[in-house]
Chains A and B, each alone.
Chain A
Amino acid sequence: MHLLEASHITKQYDGRTIIRDICIHLDKGELVSLLGISGSGKTTLFQILSGLVSPEEGKVLLNGEEVTGIPGKISYMFQKDLLLPHKKIIDNVTLPLVLKGKKKKEARQEAAPLFPVFGLEGTEYMYPAQISGGMRQRAAFLRTYLSATEAALLDEPFSALDMITKGQMHEWYLDIMQKINLSTLLITHDIDEAILLSDRIYLLTGSPGIIENELKIDRPRSDRSGFELTDEFLEYKRRIMGALK
C-alpha cells in the first residue's frame, strides 16, 4: 500500500478536460517531483490531492483510505509564501497548531526548537516583511511541516526566488530532508530542480495533462552535492527533455 495514491483522476472545468486519467503514488519518506510545462494541470492535480477540489473521476487514497474532496489531510505549500503579514514568524508557523485548537503559548513552545533546524533562529518575533524572501519561504516550509500531516505537497516553492537564493534553497532543502523525514510531492517546471531533489519524477505533458513518463533517479538523496555537474545528471536531463518535446 502506498502512502498517498491518486488513481485515474480526471478533472474538467467548463467542459474542458484539464487532466486525464492521472495515476501517481508517493511512498513513505519519498520525494517525488511532478514535472510539467505550464498549463499541464499540475496545480489542478495538487488541489485535488489536497482535497480543495473534487475530481470528476478518480480517487485519492491516503494509507488506503479514501480522502477525495476532504481537505486538511495533506498539507499544501504554495508558490507564494503566504505568510500572514500581521503575525510574527513564530505565530505564522504555528498557525496549523492553533487552528487545531492548541494554545498559542504551547504552540510557540513546540515550534521554538525547530527554528534553528530550519535556519530561522532569531526571526521568531519578527514580522514577515522584515525577513528575506528565502527566509520567508523557509518559514512557510516550517509551517507546512508543523501541519504534521503524513504527506506534503509543494507547489513550485522555489520558483519565485532569484537564481542564487534558489540554489541555496535547494542545498538547504536536501539538507533538511535528511533531518526531518517528510514524504513530499513537489511540483516544478524546473528540470534541474526536479533531478536534483527527487527520488522519482513524473512527467506531465500535454493539454489535457496526462502522465507521460516516470523516471527514477538512482543516486541517493544523501549524496547529491555537486550532482548537477555530473554526466549522470546530464543524461537524466537529456532523457527528460526528449520526453517533454
Chain B
Amino acid sequence: MKEKSGNITAKLPAAVALLIIVALWELACVTGAIPSYMLPSPVSVIKAFITDFPNLCYHASISLQEAAYGLLIGVALAFCMAGLMDRFSILNRAFSPIMIITQTIPTIAIAPVLVLWMGFGMAPKITLVVITTFFPITVGLLEGYQSIDADYMNLMRSMNATRMQIFRHVKFPAALPYFFSGLRISASYAVVGAVISEWLGGFEGLGVYMTRVRKAYAFDKMFAVIFLIVVISLLLMWLVNVLKNVTMPWAKVQRGA
C-alpha cells in the first residue's frame, strides 16, 4: 500500500479512473446497452446495499468471525511452523515442498470435502481460512528469519547471546516486515476463503446469502454483497497497515522522513 502520509495528488489518477469506469458502467445500463438482468447499474447496486444493509451486516458478521478465527489460528500456526523450520533445517527441507504442493490445491476443490468431514457449521470455514492464510505468513516469516546478515549473527555470538536472545533482538524484528506483507495478503485471502467455503454449504454468512440472492436473480443484491466483500478486504488491509506502523515505528524513519 502507498505511503500513509499520501498526498492527494498521488491518489488522484486512481480516483478519476475509477469514477470514469463507474460512470461508463452507469451510462451503459441507463441507455439500455446492457440489460439490467445481466448487469445491474451502479446506482441500483448502491440502493440495494442501503435497503439490504441490516441483512448484509448480519451475514458479514458471521463471515468476519470465520475469517478472524481462521486468520488468528493461521498466524499462530505460521509462527510455530516458521520457528521450527528456522531452528531445524531438516524440517525446512522436509516440509517446504509439501507446503508448496498444498498451495497448488484449489481452495474450491477442498471446501466440499471439508464440509463433508466437519458439517455445515463454522468449523470447515475456519479450517479453509487457516489453510489459505497459513502459507503466505509462514513463507514470509521464514524468509525474514533467514534474511539476517551473517555478521549480525557473529556480533551476537561475540556478545555471548543465547539462541533465544538472538531470536528476540535480531531475528524476530527483522522478520516483521516480511510478516506484515504476508499478513496483508492473508487478510484478504481470509475473507474470500470464508465466502467461498460458505458457497458450498452452510446456513449463514455472506457466501450463503450471495448464493441465495443469485438463485433469486436479485443481481443488484448480489453485487451489493460483492461490493461489501471488497470494502471489508480493503478495510482489513488498511488495518494491517496501521498495525504495521504501530509495531514498527522505525520503518517510517527508514523510508527517509
Within 8 A of B (CB), among A61-85: 71-72, 74-76, 78, 80, 82, 84-85
Contact B173 A86, beta carbon cutoff 8 Å:
yes
Interface residues on chain A, number (Cβ under 8 Å): 25
**Smallest CB gap from B160: residue in A:** A72
Query: Does any Cβ of A come within 8 Å of B161's Cβ?
Result: yes
Query: Does any Cβ of A come within 8 Å of B154's Cβ?
Result: yes
Q: Known: A80-B151, A86-B173. Contact between A95 and B254, CB under 8 A?
A: no
Contact A52 B151, beta carbon cutoff 8 Å:
no
Smallest distance from the beta carbon of A91 to chain B beta carbons, Å? 9
Contact A99 B173, beta carbon cutoff 8 Å:
no
**Smallest CB gap from A126: residue in B:** B253
Q: Known: A78-B151, A82-B151. Contact between A71 and B253, CB under 8 A?
A: no
Return chain B residues, CB-CB under 8 Å to A74: 158
Contact B152 A52, beta carbon cutoff 8 Å:
no
Give Cα A130 to B257, complex, Å.
Answer: 9
Give Cα A80 to B248, complex, Å.
Answer: 23
Contact A127 B250, beta carbon cutoff 8 Å:
yes
Query: Does any Cβ of B come within 8 Å of A129's Cβ?
Result: yes
Contact B158 A76, beta carbon cutoff 8 Å:
yes
Smallest distance from the beta carbon of A46 to chain B beta carbons, Å? 10
Give Cα A100 to B154, complex, Å.
Answer: 17
Interface residues on chain B, number (Cβ under 8 Å): 22
Within 8 A of B (CB), among A105-163: 127, 129-130, 147
Of the candidates B152, B156, B254, the one whose C-beta lies within 8 Å of that of A127 is B254
Query: Does any Cβ of B come within 8 Å of A36's Cβ?
Result: no
Q: Known: A86-B248, A129-B253. Contact between A71 and B169, CB under 8 A?
A: no
Smallest distance from the beta carbon of B177 to chain A beta carbons, Å? 10
Q: Main secondary structure on chain B at its contact with chain A?
A: helix
Give Cα A87 to B249, complex, Å.
Answer: 10
Return chain A residues, CB-CB under 8 Å to B152: 82, 84
Contact A85 B250, beta carbon cutoff 8 Å:
yes
Give Cα A47 to B157, complex, Å.
Answer: 11
Contact B250 A99, beta carbon cutoff 8 Å:
no
Of the candidates B155, B160, B176, the one whose C-beta lies within 8 Å of that of A82 is B155
Within 8 A of A (CB), among B128-169: 149, 151-152, 154-161, 165, 169
Contact B165 A50, beta carbon cutoff 8 Å:
no
Return chain B residues, CB-CB under 8 Å to A80: 149, 151
**Smallest CB gap from A82: residue in B:** B155
Interface string of A23-62 (1 = CB under 8 A from B): 0000000000000000000000001001110000000000
Smallest distance from the beta carbon of B255 to chain A beta carbons, Å? 9
Contact B155 A71, beta carbon cutoff 8 Å:
no
Smallest distance from the beta carbon of A102 to chain B beta carbons, Å? 13
Q: Beyond the given A82-B149, A84-B173, please list 12 additional residue pairs across the A-B interface where CB-CB is below 8 A.
A: A71-B157, A71-B160, A72-B158, A72-B160, A76-B158, A78-B154, A80-B151, A82-B151, A85-B254, A87-B169, A99-B160, A147-B159
- B residues near A (Cβ < 8 Å) are 149, 151-152, 154-161, 165, 169-170, 173-174, 176, 248, 250, 253-254, 256
Q: Can you show 19 pairs from A to B with CB atoms below 8 A apart? A: A50-B158, A71-B158, A72-B159, A75-B158, A76-B154, A78-B151, A78-B154, A82-B155, A84-B170, A85-B250, A86-B174, A87-B250, A95-B169, A98-B169, A99-B156, A99-B165, A99-B169, A129-B253, A130-B253
